[in-house]
Amino acid sequence: MSPAPRPATRSTAELSALLQAVGRGDREAFARFYDATSSRVYGAVLRVLRDRGFSEECVQDVYLEVWQKAPTFSPEQGSPAAWLVTMAHRRAIDRVRSEQSRTDRESKYAMLDAAVGIHDTSDRFLDRRPVLDAMQELSGRQRECLFMAFFEGLTYAEAADRMGVPVSTMKSRIRSALAKMRVDPRVACLAE
């Protein structure tokens, strides 16, 4: 979804009224709000992501969030533009962190494969056995946290949300699980 062409700038009062109408489920107001603000949102996201495709996806996510959170918007707490740009910036930063997390995870898997000498995909299951064995020594919660982070590819925030715990708790569980696994010399490559 590309941003709409930039129409005449709307006042804060007009944007507030549109956003309040969106909060009541008014689709036409949503379309007008989008037309009035999407180029600013796209610019804010593009400055962070520096990729047009990712930026367009992120803008879609932002406006989905606008549709869902519009009922909670209060003009007394700030302008619609500030609320929207803050939301867009946070969403873009989350995307950067998610991509970095994915890249880090792929690097760890590559290091694991190199450490155990995997050259052929038929050997993958057998060579990962030490990691799976070491995971059996963990508590059920620790195993679940590692599984979500490394095998499902969830970010700390996504995994924490799924388990209903704070992000700091999720990070702590994963760190302690990895520390416990590093004791096993067969999985020492996890120390990187």
**Residue 138, token pair as written in the block:** 């963990």
- Is CATH 1.25.40.80 the right assignment for the domain spanning 12-94? no
Residue whose entry in the numeric block shows the structure tokens 């950067």: 96
Cα–Cα distance between 71 and 63 in angstroms, integer?
Answer: 13
17-33 pLDDT, tens digit each? 999 999 999 999 999 99
- The answer on pLDDT for 110 being more than 90 is no
Residue 2 confidence (pLDDT): 56
User: pLDDT tens for residues 29-49?
Assistant: 999 999 999 999 999 999 998
Task: Give the tokens for residue 137.
Answer: 């020594």
Torsional sign, CA 22, 39, 77, 72:
positive
Q: Once rounded to an integer, what is the mean pLDDT over residues 118-124?
A: 48
Q: Which fold has domain 100-191?
A: Arc Repressor Mutant, subunit A (1.10.10)
Break the chain into its structural domains and give their ranges: 12-94, 100-191
pLDDT tens track for 64-109 = 999 999 999 988 888 999 999 999 999 999 888 888 777 766 666 6
Q: With a cut of 60, say whether residue 116 has pLDDT above it.
A: no
Check for a shared fold between 12-94 and 100-191. no
To the question of pTM greater than 0.85 for the whole model, the response is no
**Cα dihedral 126, 130, 132, 136 in deg (nearest 10):** 140
